[in-house]
Copies of this chain bind each other. A is one copy, B any other.
Amino acid sequence: MLKLSRLLPSISGSSPRLLEPLSFTKPDPRDSAAFSTATNNKYAAKGYTSNRIFAPYSVYKGKAAFSLSPCLPTFTKLDSGAVVVDRRGSMMMIFMHSIGERKYDWENKQRFALSATEVGSLISMGPQDSCEFFHDPSMLSSNAGQVRKSLSIKPHASSNGYFVSLTVVNNLLNTKDYLSVPVTTAEFAVMKTACSFALPHIMGWDRMTHQSGGTVGLQSKVEPPALDLEWDK
């Protein structure tokens, strides 16, 4: 059980503190079925309860909040023995509306998964740059085009920070949702550094390099190395 009694007093100003209210800093445990019986079954059925580690970077502001965490790719082994990426990794952003003082609406959160190239856009942004991404989460189904999501990152007029905003238009439910979170230069620096760190991992490249510690990297010279060569062709 989480110690909910550890709720801390309000934190204000532009210099974030080490300790933030616990109920805010651990959003994902709800996802992992610790809090809500309603979501408990839903997520348990999907396997969320099994040994996942939750350490999102969260930005909580007056009207809305978002958290950011890496989703690793999954791999599959072919009959040949080769291992290939099955599902690509991403940087998952989860947005929530504020519904009171330091309370956020978990029931109606919105997701946006940044691809490797979209992460490339984010980490290469200068202080005056902006970017916008468009997703159709129903792209594969008969509902294609019915739900449109767009994430925009726009610099403050004062140029010391950005607005990170998500718009979700759902023609099936006839709803339109808009969430906007101002982020400081420092918070954006954390996002860029953390995304730069995570990028090779969501691409699966840590798997390709970590195997260097295994059998592939150190091989005797007797057997020919099984590597691509430019001059093999």
Question: In the complex the two chains form, what is the Cα distance from A189 to B17 in whole Å?
Answer: 24
Q: In the assembled complex, which residues on chain B have CB atoms less than 8 Å from the CB atom of A209?
A: 70, 72, 197-198, 201, 206
User: In this complex, what residue of B is CB-closest to A220?
Assistant: B76
Partner of A225, one of B87, B203, B229: B87
User: In this complex, what residue of B is CB-closest to A116?
Assistant: B190
Q: With A49-B82, A193-B196, A207-B213 in contact, do A87 and B55 touch (Cβ < 8 Å)?
A: no
Partner of A82, one of B48, B71, B118: B48
- Contact across chains for B190 and A194 when beta carbons are under 8 A apart: no
- Give the interface of A toward B (CB within 8 A): 1-3, 8-9, 13, 15-19, 25-26, 28-29, 31-34, 40, 44, 46-55, 57, 69-88, 90, 92, 94, 109-121, 123-124, 131-140, 144, 149, 184-190, 193-194, 196-201, 203-213, 215-221, 223-233
Which are the 6 A-B pairs with shortest beta-carbon distances?
A: A55-B204, A47-B226, A32-B82, A137-B231, A124-B189, A120-B190
